[in-house]
Structures are given as C-alpha cells and as structure tokens.
Structure 1
Amino acid sequence: MFRFIWAQLRGRAGRSVALLVGVLVATTGFVVLTGATTTSRLAVTGTVERNTRAAYDILVRPPGTRTPLEAERGLVRPNYLSGLFGGITLDQYRQVEAIAGVDVAAPIAMLGHSTTGVPAPIDLTDAVDRSLVRQVIRVDPVFGAERGLSAAPGKPRYVYVTKNPLVHPDRTQLTGGDRWRYSDGRSYPIEDGCGVVPREVLPGGRTVPICDPRYALLGDRGTYSEREDWWVEAVRLRPDGRFEAGPDVLATADDGAGTIADRLVMAYSVTVPFLLAAVDPPAEQRLVGLADAVVAGRPVRADDPVEVVKRGMAVNHGFPVLVTARPFIDETLTARLSRLPGVNPGEISVLDLARTLGDRTGVPAGESRADVARGHRAMVEEGLSDTGCCNGQLQRVVQSGDVRYERLPDGTLRPEPQPPAAPEVYGQRFIYNPLPRPWLADDRGSRAARPLALTEGHTAPFRHWSAVGVFDPERLTGFSDVGKVPLETYEPPRAEGADERSRAALGGKPLEPSGNPAGYLSAPPLLLTNLASVATLLDGGSSPQRTAPISAIRVRVADVGGYSERSAERVRLVAEQINRATGLDVDITLGSSPAPQTVELPAGTFGRPDLRLTENWSALGVASVITRAVDRKSAVLFVLVLVVCVLFLGNAVSAAVRDRRPELAVLACLGWSARRIGALILGEVTVTGLAAGLLSVGLAVPLGAALGIDVDWRRALLAVPVALLLALVAGLAPALRAARAHPAAALRPPVAAAGWVRRPRTLPGLALANLVRTPGRTLLGAGALAIGVAALTLVAAAAYAFRGAIVGSLLGDLVSLSVRGADALAAVATVLLGAAAVADVLYLNIRDRAAELATLRATGWTDAALGRLIGYEGLLLGLLGALTGAGLGLGGAAWLVGALPAALVLVAAAVAAAGVLVTCLAAVVPAALLHRLPTARLLAEE
C-alpha cells in the first residue's frame, strides 16, 4: 500500500505539490497566527499587570456614600474626599486593620478649609518719585483665577511715602486709658476712628497721625471679602535712599527688625483656603512613603501633641501639620500702580480721607504681579515653624459639600450650580477671625459650604496650625498613570478642555482648582495633621465627626503587586470580609484606570464662560473586563484560524479526489474494497501532511521572528501533529465520499445542472447559475471567506470595545494599541486564506467546466466576455461570503462588547466591502488562465 501511495504521489506530482503547499501554508500559518494570538494575550496580561499597580486595592467609605451615578457607571469620581467629612468610627477602623490579609489600612479624616494668608508682595519701588517730599501711591488690585477667566477688582490700597520721620506705636506697652506709647518714648492719644497708627513728625516737631480708614469703615473682621479690604500704610523715604516702615509693612527688610529695606516691597497676602486632613503617619508612610517625601523640617508623628500656650486668660492651641510644597491652586494678584500728587493723609480727617483719596486721579506708575504658587513657595522656604495667628487660623473651618450632577442626553455631566455661601460662614459677628473671606467665595459654585461646628466665642481657645515640616508630593511612591486610583490626598484634579472653544479659552492648559472652597475642582489637602489632634480640635463642638471622624480608609492587600486572577480573588475576599465586619461601603480599586468623563461646567460670576471639560474619573474593574474580553477574543481567533485551515485543505483534497474519479472507479471495478480506497486517500493525505508538518517546523520559527511573533521550538514542533490532524480532518470527508462512490459515478459530469434555475439572460445570471451547479464547492469557498470577514470584524469590534464600548479608560486605550497589530495580523491572514479558497473554487470551476467554456469560445465568446463571467462568479461568491461573515461578526461583536453600537455596524460594512474587494482581486488569477484553455482539443474530446 505504501509503495502504491508513493507511486500515486510521484505520478501526480503537480497535484501532490499543490496539496503539500496547501498543508504547509495552512499549518505554518496556524502555528504562527496562534502564536500571535498567544503573544497578544500575554502582552495584554503583562500590560494590565504592569499598569494596575496602585497605592491601594480597596477603598472603604461610610455607608451610603457611593452616589447613584458612581454605582450605575462603576466609577469613583475625582474629589470624592473633598465633600466627605467623617462617617467612620475609630472602632470600625480597628476592625478593618485587624482583618486577615490587610497589609496596610490608612485612614484619612477630612476636616475642612482653613483660610490662610499667602504672601503676594507688591513692589512699589519704581512707582516712587524720589524728588517729592510727600506722595501717595495708589494700588488697584485685580484678583484673577482659573487661567485668568475669572477676575475681579478690589478696593484700592494706599501707601503714603514721606521724607519726614515717622514714629510707630509700641504695641506691647499700653500706658493706660486712651493713650499709647510710641517709638520715640512719648505717649499719644488714640484718635477716634483712627486706630493705633504711625505718626508723622513734621518740621517744627509737631506729629500728626496717618489715619487708616479701615478701622472706621470696615465691619466685623471675618465677614467681609478681601475685595473690600483696603488700608493706608505709611513709609519713610530715608536720606540714604532706603525705605523705613513699621513692623509687618515691608515684605523684605535689610535689618533684623524688618523695618528698613532697599526696595519698597509691600507685604500683602491673599486669603487662600487650605484643606486640612488628618492621617495616621505610620500607615501613610507604608502606603506611599509620606515621611520619605519630606523636604524640610521633619515628618508629622502619630504622637505629636497639640501645643497649648496660656497667656493670662487666653489659651492658644497649636496643631502640628505637614505642609505640601505645591499649593495646587491657580490664583493671581495684579496690582496697577498710580501716583496721587498733592495728597497729605496726615492733614485730612479719617472720615474725609476715603473720599479724598477716591476722588483723586492718579498718574500711572507701572504694574506688579504675584501668584499664589510663588507666594506659597516663598512662605515654605522661609520656614513655617510658627505661623502665628494671621497665617494659620483654625477659628473658623469651612467644609464644602458634594457635587450633584445632571445627566444630559448625550451622557455629559453638568454640575448643579450652587449660590454663594452666606458671609457668616467664614466668620460670624463677635467671633474672632483675623482674615477676610476669599474673593472667589462670592462666585457661583458647585458645592454648598458650611462651617465646621467648633467651640466658638471669646472663651474658646484660639486655634492655629504650626508646620513641623514640608513634603513634596512628587517624591511619593510613583504609580502608573493609566492604572492610577484617585490619590486625592496628594494630587489635584485637573480638567482638560473637551472642545476647541474650551481649549482656546483655557489657553491650551488644564483647568485647576481655584481659591473657592465651593468651586467645582477642589484642591487636595494641603495641610496634614495626625489623628490624635482631631479630638482636641473637635472637643466641645457639636460636629457629628466627634464620634466618627474618619472619612475613608485606603486598604492595600498583602501579596498583591498588580492585577491577576489570583490577586483579584484575594482582594475580593478581603473586601467581602471588610463589608461583613463593618457594614461600610467597599469599592475594589485593584485593576482600576482613569476613565475620561465629559463635564459641562456652568459659567461663573466673575467672567468664566461655560466650559466643556474632560475629567478623569476612576473606572473600577477595568483590568478584569479587559482580560476577560481578551480571553474570549483569543479563543475566537484561535478557532477561526483552525476552521479556515480545515476548509482550505478540505477544498484542496476534494479537488484531488474529483480529479481522480475515473481512476478510483477503475480500482473499484478491479475489486478494491471501499475501506481500501478510503485508506488510499487518507494515506496519501497523511504522507503529505507529515511532510508539510516537518517543513513547517523549519519555517515557523524564522517566519515568526521576521513578523515579531514569539514562536519557540516547542510551539514549532506542534506543527507536525497539527499538520497530520488537519490533513486527516480535511481528507476524511473526501475519502469517505470516494470509498462509497459507485464506479458509474465516473461517467457523470463533475458539474451538475441546476434544474430549478431559469435560463439566464445576463452574465450575472449565468454566473449565479454556474455557482448553484456546484453548491458544496460554492458554500465551502463562501464559508471560508465568511469566517475571515467575521474574524476581521471581531478584531475591529474588540479595538472599538477597548477604546470606549467596554471600559472607556486610559488602560483600555493602551491595551487596544498594544494588541491591535497581532490581532489584525491573524484576522487579515484569515481573510486571505478565505480569498485563496474562493480563488481555488473558481479555478476548479474553470477546470471542471473547461469543455463548456471552450464551446462558448467556439460560438463567438471572447476571452474578455469569459473573464467577465468568471469575475461575476467571484463577485457573487465574495458578496455571499462577506455579507454572511459581516453578520456573524456583528453577532460575535455584540457578545464581546455587550451591545451593538451603530459604529460597529459601520465597521462590519467596511470589512465586508474589503472582503468583496479582496475576492474580486483573487478572481483575477483564475480568470487570467482562460486564454490557456486548449479549445480544439477540448472540443474534440467532447
């Protein structure tokens, strides 16, 4: 039998080589393409694992904190901590900490905003006319924020510059009654409505007060806006050209007392809300390395006490804090300078001074600009060991509520506008708050503001914070940008413009938090204290945070370094235990990724227009969705490649059997049994498959290397059993058909007539009739092409899904870019195999109908007409296969994505059109063989 098989293979070398090449191409393609699919999956798994290492794996929040929008979309919003104040007790925190598998449980207690004065010095040196004995410099401030889109003017400030000597009050020596001791050793009366102010020594020795109208015209401090704040300061221009003023007037000074300087730089501060939070320092160090990020001073310690200082009846509480080196607030101050000639404040009563200064037209004298970030850095560099009462007050702490969203029909989120908070929120009557409220507090906001309920009144201790150190957030343990969960403790939320108009308004930069505690974007906590200080701060107040001070707990699970099935299961078990033990809301943040959301921000009061923004929320469970989708996609592509290979080989073996029908009929007449004839066919196929498998072993590795696909020798050796299996599966049906065929079947034509088809009157009709005459062969070719089109549709659907339909996240975008090449290679190769099967079908049709085609040529048909006939057959085959494949691909896409967006229908239509085009190109080859038909010989044989 083996000799006979070998003789048959040698005797029909052309068909044997063709079959060998078919098995070789199919086997090598199968090994390499499945290697590409495996490489794709491994690349995705590695990408997901590398980019899902985050600071914590579980986020624990008070019950009911998760909003319906978060629950519906599987998201965690940025700023989730900004409106979350308390709700978790210390006992619940200890329960979480004690659960097996918890590596780190880091609590954070949000407390509220401390209005703090940040230096914004104003340089007036160049505005001074040194030839004048007395002059007034007018400073018109303009407050700006949000990339300059919000701006508001403030009341003017005035600096009185005189060459006459000045004497200043000694604020530590009250002589009694209504008199005050001054730096010249004399006592002067306190002028009504004028306050304790410097006095100018006129020629002749008489002194006059330089009154400051703010003492007479302003109401209770802590209730007015900094836009309404104004003052008159007195400065002496000394004979040596330097400037001299009282304490706390000059921003920079040459002497230790801070009263003499080369330049006239006025000390001025902008009221900035600094968000205060309490953490457990050891847990924070283990979570993100907080202590290692300290760049000045020392880390705050868990046992740092609240400093208590008693001065008579007054008690001061100083809270230890760690201050960020980066304020994360976009706010500026621009001062427009002018000089008012002929005004001498010492000669004008305090009640007339404001009107006189306001009515006078000034001579422009330049401009000075300062920003909060620069002032904050300067404040940090100078050291914050003791901020005192004016820069770190905690008398009034303001809390901002949560943002509520309206969902627009296109899925855009629109924050519900909130009216400005009442002025009393920032300091009520008779309650001491040394700073005015921020100017942006009068803007339309996105959050409701309320005061933290603390002990207040004249008998309450004065509370302030004292910095023990400064930390740089950029020195914290880094994490992947595409797998980052909302580390709001240290990072500010930023929103990019979502359309050209918004990007142009923002100057191509992101929108950042402003100085409004009720604004949409909230700065992260800039002040960190320890949990031990919370009890002292809340002592005696009525805040519900006294019993449940913790706002959230961030949990890292032991032995988890990135997303994997094992890690996911481990984290899930710990999360379930936390929920059962505490009843708190638990979100698994392992495998999360930023998911861009579109936000429509309403216009502000101070000029900011409506903005359309893109904001990164955190999508939960992204890694799990991606890996499951990739598993499904890999399995589908694996099966499709296998099926197309079988169809391709089955067609080739069937062609070989059809070509040998007379020979097989003769063998049957000579007494060969059906089993022996079937074994002959399978034996020939097996030998061919074995040879192709051995050749494929040598081709798979270098071909994979050339295509950038990892195909090792162990995978390459699989080519031998795969080739044998493919050959046997492909040859089984033809072998059975050959074994059961009656010898008389050799006399029947290989192409049957289509009795139910009407007599065709057009070329397309004739092409359709020809395809119907060989239904099995037609369905085989169309099926191979349909599978290829379906595979390519699935790959396009997967790419679309990873870009938006499944997760809509940055991690999904990264995965789609990393797998598209390998998947496209597999899918395109499948389409090409399908097109090759179609070309083979057309070739076999031409060969089997050679006599008919010769007759048509003899009756006057030209080669061009015959070529168009074959072209129509290829077109109809392509339409049948492409449309069927597109339908199958859409069904698979709906299963993969979970929906059927209109964009996927367009993708399927495009892929189907590409499949038809490839089929038409494949039909060119068999059509070109028409001119080689031996017309005379075929007619003679017929």
Structure 2
Amino acid sequence: MLRIIWRQLRGRAWRSAALLAGVLVATTGFIVLTGATSASRLQVTGDVERNTRAAYDILVRPKGSRIVLETDRRLVRPNYLSGLYGGITNAQYDQVRRVSGVDIAAPIAMLGYASAFIPTPLDITDAVDRRLDRQVIRVDPTFVAERGLSTAPGKPQYVYVTKHPLIYPVFDPKSTTRDTLYTDGRTYPGDECEHPLPVREVMPDGSSKPICGGEFGPSTDGRGSGVSERDIKSVAAVRLLPDGRFESGGVIQSRDDLPEPTDRLFLQMRLSVPLLMAAIDPVAENRLVGLDRAVTRGRPLTADDGPDDIPGGSLVNRAFPVLSSSRPYVDGAVRASYRRLVPATVAGVLETELADQLDHAPAVPVGEGRADLSGGYPTVQGGPLTTLVQAGPAEYDEQPGGTLRAREFPPKPDNPDPKSSVEPEVVPWLADDQSFRPLRDVALAKSMDVNRIWSVVGSFDPERLAGFSELSKLPLETYEPPRAEGADERSRQALGGQPLEPSGNPGGYLTPPPLLLTNLASVPKLLEGGTSPQRAAPLSAIRVRVSDVDGYSKRSAERVRLVAERIAAVTGLDVDVTLGSSPSAQTVELAAGSFGRPALRLSEKWSALGVASVIVQAVDRKSVVLFLLVLVVCALFLGNAVSAAVRARTPELAVLACLGWRPRRIGLLILGEVAVLGLAAGVLSLGLAVPVAAVLGNAIGWQRAAAAVPLALVLALAAGAVPALRAARAHPAAALRPAATTVRWLRRPRTLLGLALVNLARTPGRTVLGAGALAIGVAALTLVAAAASVFRGAIVGNLLGDSVALSVRGADAVAVVATVLLGAVAVADVLYLNIRDRAAELAALQAVGWTEGALARLVGYEGAALGVLGATTGSAAGLAGAAWLFNGVPGGLILVAAITAAGGVLAPVLATLVPAALLRGLPTAQLLAEE
C-alpha cells in the first residue's frame, strides 16, 4: 500500500505540493503564533500584576451586609463603609488577626457625621465707601452645591461700618453679676440687647450705645431640630480706622487682647458641614496605607491618644483627638451680591427693630462675591459632639437594561427625644433636600458639666496614602472620594462636563470619605452613656493584607483565597477577596432635588471582584481562538482538496473495489496519502518554526517546535477523514457508471454572471466550503480591525479589564491575515477544481468560438461570487460579534465592516488569476476527443 501511496503522490506532484504547502503554512504559523501568545500572555500578566497591587487583599464586613445587587453582579458598591455602623466585635477582630497568613488586619469603625462650622469669608472691602462716616453693607447670600445645580437664597447679612471708636466686652467666667466689663474700663448692663455681650459704639458726646446684632434667626419652638444657616441673619460691627484699615471683633479674653487691624474687610460667613467620623487602629493604618507618612500638619494619631478634659469655667470641655483630612471633598460655596445703604441709626436699636429697618432701607448695588468652603476648611480645629448623624446605605430599584434607580427617603427627621437638653444646632441647608439614604440621630451622653468636642491633633492628605493603582483604582479605597460622571448628554451638560461630588447633605447619594479619624481606644468613652447600638460591636469593616502577596498571580490568588476561607470559617462574617478587582461602570438614576437639581443619569464605578483572573483567562482564550481559526480554514482547504481528489479518482477506486479491495482498505489508502503529506509538513515545520520565530523576534524552544509534527499529522487526518469515509462507502458498480444528474428544472442563463452562478450551484458542497473558509477569515478580520481602528488598538476605558483583555496584538493580527489568505487560497482551489472538472465543457465553449478572455471572465465572476458570499457573511458575523462585545454599533464600526468586506471580495478575485491562467494551456482537441 505504501508503494501505491507514493506513486499517487508522485503522479500528482503539483497537487501534492500545494496540499503540503497548505499544511506547512498552517502548522508553522500556529506554532510560531502560539509562541507569541505565550510571550504576550507573560506581558499581559505582568500588566495585571502591576495594576492590581492594592492596599488590601480581603475585605471583611458584618454578616448580611452584602446587598442582593452585590451578590448577583459580583460587585461591591462604592463607599460601602458609609452605610456600615458597627456589626463586628473586638473578639472577631482578634480572631481575624490570629488567622494564619494574615499580615495586616486594619479595622475601621464608622461613627457618623459630626457637625463643623466652616468659615467661608466674603471679601467686601471694595463695597465700602471710605468717605462716609457711617454705612451698612448688605450681603444677600445664595448657597450653592452640586456643581451649581442646587441653590438656596439666604437671609441678608449686614456689616455696619463706622468711623467711631468701638469698645468690646471682656469675658469673665468668674463674674456673678449681669454687668459686663468692657475695654474702656467701665461696666455696662448685660441685658440691653436680646443678644448677650454686644459690641458698643462710642458716640461723639463720649457716651456709648450697644450695637444689637450678632446672629439671630427663627425660633425652633423647642423642637430640637436646629435651623439652617440660610435662615440666620447677622449684624457685624466694624470700625474704619483713620489709616484706612479695618478693626472688627467680639468678646475678648482680656483688655489687652484687642482686635488686630486688617487691610481687607471680610464677612465671615459660616457653613455648617457634616464631616464623617471614623475610628481606626493607628498602628495598623500606618502599616496598611502609610497614614503617619501622609500627615501634613500637626502630629500623627497614636493608639495611646485619649480624650482630654480642658477646664472652661463651669463646663469641662472633653476633647476627643482626631486626625483631620486636609481636603474637605465636599462641593459647596456661597455667592453673594452687595448693596450699600446709609441708615439713620444703628447703635441702641434692638435686634428685631433693627432687622426690620435694615430690610426695608433703600440700597445701592456695589458688587458681587463668591467663596468656596474649601478655602476655610483647613482652619477648622474642632466642633461639638452632642449628636452623630448616621446615614444608611443607598438602596436601588433595578430598571430594564440593568440601570439602577436610587430609592428616595424622607429628609432628616426632627430629634425624636423632645426632652433633650441639648441646645439646637445649625444644620446644613442641604439637609432639607431629597435624601437617598435613611438617616438616624445617635445621641451621645448628655451632661450639664461636660461639653464633648472633637479636637484636631494633626491633618493628613488622603492623596498621599498608599492605595490602588491607577488602572485598578477602586471605590473600595477607604479614603477615595466618590465621583460620578454624567451617563448621558443631558446629564453631562447639566453638570458642566464635570463629575458630581458629595454635597453638604448627610443623606445625599454621594458621601465623602471619613474626614475625621480618631483611635479605637476613644470609642468606648465616646459612646459611653449614649444611645448608639455600636457599643457591643463597634467595628464596621476589617481590611486584610495577606503575607507574601505582591500583585496578582495564580499563586497569590490561591493564597488569598485560602486565607479568606479561613476568616469566613472562624468568624462567620461576610468576606470578599479584593485582590485582582477592577472598577466596573454602573448606570444610576437620581430623582430631582428640592433645590433645583434636575434628575440625573450617572455613571458610577463599582468594584468588580476577581477581574484580574478573568482578564488573564480571557486573553488566553481570545488568542487561542484566533490561532485555531488558521487550522480550521486549513482543514477546510484540505478537506475540499481531498474530496475533489476522491471524486476525480472514482473510477480508479472502483477498479480497486472490483479487484477485491475492502472498503476499509480503500479508506486507509486515502488516509495514508494525507497522512504522508501531514507527516512531511510536520517535519518541515519542525525545522522552520524556530528560525521563523527568531526572525519575528519571538524565541521559541525546540520542545514547542516539536509539537508541529503531531499537529500537522492530526490536521491532515482530520481533513481527510470525511473524504476517506465517502470513498470507502462507494459501491463499485455505482462508481463505474458515468456520472449523471437528474434535471429538476432548467433555466438557460443569459449572461456570464448567470452562468457563473449556475456553475457554483452545481457543486454546492465545494462552494460552501470555499465561501465558509473565507467567511471565517473575514469575520476575524472585522473584529480585529474594529478594535484596531475604531478603538485605536484596544477597547480602552478606565477599567483594567478594558485595558488589556481585548488588546489587539501583532500576533493576533498575523493570525487573522493568515486566516484570510488561507480563505482566499481555498477559493482559488475551488475554482481550480471546477476548471479541472469542467475542462471538457470549457473546451467545447472554446471550440464554438469563446475566447480565452471570455472564459477568464467567467472564472473571475465565479471567484467574485464566492468572494461576495464569503465576505458578506463573514463581515456580518464579525459586525454582530463586535456589537455584542462593544455594547453597540458605532458608525466607525460599520465603516470598518464595509472595508473588510471589500477586502474579503478583492482577495479571492485576485486569487482567481492562478486558476484562470490554466485556461491558456487548455488542450481543446484532446479534451473533445476524450469526451
């Protein structure tokens, strides 16, 4: 049998050489390209490792803290800590620390929002007329937040500017009388105004009168809910000195402590801003994120810091130490218009009468101003600790298409304790806006002798902390401020092209990170005697770094997984592996606000868990699929060629059957021929793969190159299996009968194109194989061209997965080009076989007067028809795949698909030049004689 196989291959030398070349190209290409895949995989894995180094590897939260949405989508919502207030005990924290493999366990206890008054000074210097003896500058403020979308007018503020001297009250905590000592050495009654301790103006006759101003607003009627700063009026007194400078002040500590003159005059507006307070373990936090190295002012927080009692007369100020953020991460400002008026009298007029007089006095516009709260935030050194406001997690309704709609909650309720002895405080003006989080007030211990406050020991810059890399920067980062971009054009225009940031509303959708950090040692004393449920389980989360893990790798991922399983088993808490996570954009809809903000559609980054593992696997799958297409198209080419050979040798095989060859032996004969070709191609590929890879700059070893031999053999046998089976099943008598086709219908073609289509329809299987091989290449070309052209080489977004998972690499492009070329060769082979099978027909056409040009055009039309069929099918498949991968069909993608389809048609048309050239040597007389 081997001798017969060898004779058959030698007898059809050109055909055998063509088949050998096809297998050789496909096998060598696959070996070289998969070598490039390995090198690229190492590079991509390196990218993943560099960009998944996180502050921590495991996130531990209270049992049941995951919302259903997180579980279903394998996500963690941004600012997950903002709605977690306790739930983990100190004993569970100790269990986590003792788990083998835990390097750092950093707990954090979210406590709630503490109030702070942020000075927001408005410069009104240029509004003052220095020629006037007395004047009042009226300031009409407008409070602004959320990129200017939420606004609310405030009550007017007045600055009384006089050239007359002012005298100031001196604070004396030991005084038991109503009379107050002033800086002129005299005492005056303390009940001349509703507001205590007013500044006094010295009249020209030497007497003095009180300026009854200060801050005053509507009564709270004992509700204990406080008032907004936009409801408070004020009258400030300022002296214009002869040298043009300004002197202003209030209650002073001693007669020698007089106000310093200033060159500029500022109205000190105060915005009430809620600052999120949390407790940490300073030692663990220093190791985890380098908190001590991020301190920019003062000193770091230590584990030994505790509340200090500071005497203050009849009250003791118990100051709890905090490390404050140097950045407020709150979008808020005040803009104002200035008007000047000249009142008849100011000094000696009571507050209510003075306010009515100034409100209705004629005034002249004299300018405008604006101030952001970020300017005055660094000067804040403390604030009261009477009540903490806790905002629960946002809740969502899932809309069609996966969009999330944030649920709405009522604004902050009144204090539920009507017997509270705590004085009403000014609350943020935006607290009356629509809330997207449930709110509750947690009262701390009340005492008539102790006043609890928070006091700044130092400031830290959150942007100097260790965190996540830029590509994998996550909202899991504890101190990362949340931002949400507009998800549609309307929302982007409303936001002015800028992201939405947290506002001064504690129930707002976006919440700032913890801006005030105290230590865990202070928590029991802070919560002692209060109503907080956190006293038994104060911790909100534990962030864990696993030892011997530096970036993502399979070994690191497995090590982290094992530690996470141990923590979950020991503590029973919710445990998430954050190693290898990446941001994942989610679309969120917000209802319109109460202060002018329209409804918004936002794109918000959530944290997709385990993305690095998916990326590495996806890159491997994508590349292997592309390279397998080379083998698939080659197999189609071989299968078509072997089928044609079997068809041409039908009489020969029938003779062998008549001579007693069994069907099995006939099938083995066909398989033997393709096996010899495959084996020869594999051996040649073994010698070519290494040098070809070296020329392309991609070294591969001989072990990988040796895989070419079995690969080529398997490829050849797979391609020849079906034709061999068909040859073995043919009946000898039926094979010896001349081929005849039953005519079901007859339609005479009137054009060359019509005749070409009829010719292709005569061998539908062969036509489908050729067009299918081309379609596969064009589909792959469309996908890769879309990524390379429309998306500039990669499907790049802000996510790590987008950055590397669909990158278009050189090896992928080579694989696609090879696939398209093999498809074109398959089309050329179909045309060659058609010419060979219809040689007698073509000779007859020449005999009746057809020119070689006409016959060449006929073959060209057949190639063009095959090209159109394969290219349009492949382009449509590639377009559909690209639309599925890229979530849409951009206009550029359609253009790319059209260009690849045109290229797919052009390639087989050019490939027809070779089979068309065979028409020139067509032996017309011989063929007609044989027929």
* Same fold by TM-score greater than 0.5: yes
Counterpart-to-counterpart distance in 2, 1:214 and 1:643: 83
> Pick from 826, 840, 844: which aligns with 2:833?
844
Counterpart-to-counterpart distance in 1, 2:820 and 2:330: 55
Counterpart-to-counterpart distance in 1, 2:217 and 2:36: 81
Q: Secondary structure at the match of 2:430?
A: helix
Deviation at 1:398, TM superposition (A): 1.3
Deviation at 1:222, TM superposition (A): 6.8
1:337 partner letter = Y
Identity of aligned residues (%): 60
> Pick from 398, 412, 417: which aligns with 1:421?
412
Is 516-525 or 837-846 further displaced after alignment? 837-846
Counterpart-to-counterpart distance in 2, 1:16 and 1:351: 109
Counterpart of 1:165? 165
Deviation at 1:150, TM superposition (A): 1.1
Counterpart-to-counterpart distance in 1, 2:158 and 2:243: 23
Counterpart-to-counterpart distance in 1, 2:366 and 2:183: 32
- Shift in alpha-carbon separation, 1:878–1:263, aligned structure 2, 3 A: closer
Counterpart of 1:400? 391
> Pick from 919, 925, 928: which aligns with 1:939?
928
Question: 1:446-481 CA distances to partner (integer Å, 9 max, x unpaired)?
Answer: 12222113112535x211111121111111114223
Counterpart-to-counterpart distance in 2, 1:428 and 1:514: 31
Counterpart of 1:577? 566
Within 5 Å, which residues of 2 pair with 1:615-764? 615-649=604-638, 651=640, 681=673, 685=677, 688-689=680-681, 692-693=684-685, 696-697=688-689, 700-701=692-693, 704-705=696-697, 715-716=704-705, 718-719=707-708, 722-723=711-712, 726=715, 752-755=739-742, 758-762=745-749
Q: Secondary structure at the match of 2:80?
A: coil
Counterpart-to-counterpart distance in 2, 1:522 and 1:303: 30
Query: Retained in 1: the 8 A contact 2:277–2:514?
Result: yes
Query: Retained in 1: the 8 A contact 2:78–2:607?
Result: yes
Q: Are residue 131 (structure 1) and residue 118 (structure 2) matched? A: no
Q: Secondary structure at the match of 1:72?
A: helix
Q: Secondary structure at the match of 2:825?
A: helix
Counterpart-to-counterpart distance in 1, 2:499 and 2:352: 47
Counterpart of 2:917? 929
Query: Retained in 2: the 8 A contact 1:700–1:711?
Result: no
Within 5 Å, which residues of 2 pair with 1:841-920? 841-859=830-848, 866=855, 870=859, 873-874=862-863, 917=905
1:356 partner letter = Q
Query: Retained in 1: the 8 A contact 2:93–2:542?
Result: yes
- Shift in alpha-carbon separation, 1:914–1:621, aligned structure 2, 3 A: farther
Q: Secondary structure at the match of 1:170?
A: coil
1:469 partner letter = G
Q: Are residue 64 (structure 1) and residue 64 (structure 2) matched? A: yes
1:372 partner letter = L
Deviation at 1:58, TM superposition (A): 1.9
Q: Are residue 481 (structure 1) and residue 470 (structure 2) matched? A: yes
Query: Retained in 2: the 8 A contact 1:654–1:734?
Result: yes
Counterpart of 2:196? 195
Deviation at 1:165, TM superposition (A): 1.2
Deviation at 1:200, TM superposition (A): 1.0
Question: 1:219-241 CA distances to partner (integer Å, 9 max, x unpaired)?
Answer: 57971110011211111112222
- Shift in alpha-carbon separation, 1:631–1:907, aligned structure 2, 3 A: farther
Query: Retained in 1: the 8 A contact 2:23–2:678?
Result: no
Deviation at 1:441, TM superposition (A): 1.0
Deviation at 1:292, TM superposition (A): 1.5
Counterpart-to-counterpart distance in 2, 1:585 and 1:601: 29
Counterpart-to-counterpart distance in 1, 2:200 and 2:258: 19
Counterpart-to-counterpart distance in 2, 1:427 and 1:113: 21
Query: Retained in 1: the 8 A contact 2:619–2:806?
Result: no
- Shift in alpha-carbon separation, 1:758–1:465, aligned structure 2, 3 A: same
Query: Retained in 1: the 8 A contact 2:860–2:909?
Result: no
Within 5 Å, which residues of 2 pair with 1:407-446? 407-424=398-415, 430-432=421-423, 435-446=425-436
Deviation at 1:728, TM superposition (A): 6.9
Query: Retained in 1: the 8 A contact 2:121–2:371?
Result: yes
The runs of 5 or more residues in structure 2 that have no matched partner are none
Counterpart of 2:454? 465
Query: Retained in 2: the 8 A contact 1:247–1:257?
Result: no
The runs of 5 or more residues in structure 1 that have no matched partner are 250-254
Question: 1:779-807 CA distances to partner (integer Å, 9 max, x unpaired)?
Answer: 6545644654676689799999x99xx99
Query: Retained in 2: the 8 A contact 1:54–1:485?
Result: no
Counterpart-to-counterpart distance in 1, 2:12 and 2:42: 44
Query: Retained in 2: the 8 A contact 1:213–1:232?
Result: yes
- Shift in alpha-carbon separation, 1:748–1:26, aligned structure 2, 3 A: farther
Within 5 Å, which residues of 2 pair with 1:93-492? 93-172=93-172, 175-190=175-190, 191-212=192-213, 214=215, 219=220, 223-247=226-250, 258-311=259-312, 313-377=314-378, 379=379, 387=381, 391-424=382-415, 430-432=421-423, 435-456=425-446, 458-459=448-449, 461-492=450-481
Deviation at 1:538, TM superposition (A): 0.3
Counterpart-to-counterpart distance in 2, 1:781 and 1:350: 96
Is 575-584 or 729-738 further displaced after alignment? 729-738
- Shift in alpha-carbon separation, 1:861–1:369, aligned structure 2, 3 A: same
Is 495-504 or 855-864 further displaced after alignment? 855-864
Counterpart of 2:491? 502
Query: Retained in 2: the 8 A contact 1:420–1:443?
Result: yes
Counterpart-to-counterpart distance in 2, 1:736 and 1:504: 67
Query: Retained in 1: the 8 A contact 2:775–2:875?
Result: yes
- Shift in alpha-carbon separation, 1:618–1:686, aligned structure 2, 3 A: closer
Query: Retained in 1: the 8 A contact 2:879–2:894?
Result: no
2:297 partner letter = A
- Shift in alpha-carbon separation, 1:756–1:592, aligned structure 2, 3 A: farther
- Shift in alpha-carbon separation, 1:342–1:247, aligned structure 2, 3 A: closer
Question: 1:617-642 CA distances to partner (integer Å, 9 max, x unpaired)?
Answer: 11123233334444444454454433
Deviation at 1:931, TM superposition (A): 4.8
Counterpart of 1:543? 532
Query: Retained in 2: the 8 A contact 1:24–1:693?
Result: yes
Query: Retained in 1: the 8 A contact 2:143–2:335?
Result: yes
Deviation at 1:347, TM superposition (A): 4.4
Question: 1:839-885 CA distances to partner (integer Å, 9 max, x unpaired)?
Answer: 21211221232111121333355667655654665577568877998
Counterpart-to-counterpart distance in 2, 1:469 and 1:583: 37
Is 464-473 or 733-742 further displaced after alignment? 733-742
Deviation at 1:748, TM superposition (A): 8.1
Query: Retained in 1: the 8 A contact 2:875–2:901?
Result: no
Counterpart-to-counterpart distance in 1, 2:345 and 2:76: 61
Counterpart-to-counterpart distance in 2, 1:888 and 1:366: 65
Is 825-834 or 441-450 further displaced after alignment? 825-834
Q: Secondary structure at the match of 2:355?
A: helix
Question: 1:696-753 CA distances to partner (integer Å, 9 max, x unpaired)?
Answer: 3366225634xxx66566645655665566567667888999999999999988xx44
Is 121-130 or 870-879 further displaced after alignment? 870-879
> Pick from 478, 482, 502: which aligns with 1:513?
502
1:689 partner letter = A
Question: 1:197-252 CA distances to partner (integer Å, 9 max, x unpaired)?
Answer: 01111112111111117458655797111001121111111222222222479xxx
Question: 1:315-363 CA distances to partner (integer Å, 9 max, x unpaired)?
Answer: 3211111111111111111232221113431143333111100001222
Query: Retained in 1: the 8 A contact 2:112–2:391?
Result: yes
Question: 1:590-632 CA distances to partner (integer Å, 9 max, x unpaired)?
Answer: 2221111111111111111111111101112323333444444
Count of aligned pairs between the two proteins: 914
1:543 partner letter = S
Query: Retained in 2: the 8 A contact 1:142–1:335?
Result: yes
- Shift in alpha-carbon separation, 1:493–1:154, aligned structure 2, 3 A: same
Counterpart of 1:55? 55
Counterpart-to-counterpart distance in 1, 2:138 and 2:418: 29
Q: Are residue 586 (structure 1) and residue 589 (structure 2) matched? A: no
Q: Secondary structure at the match of 1:30?
A: helix
Counterpart-to-counterpart distance in 2, 1:627 and 1:807: 16
Deviation at 1:521, TM superposition (A): 0.7
RMSD: 4.6
Query: Retained in 2: the 8 A contact 1:875–1:919?
Result: no
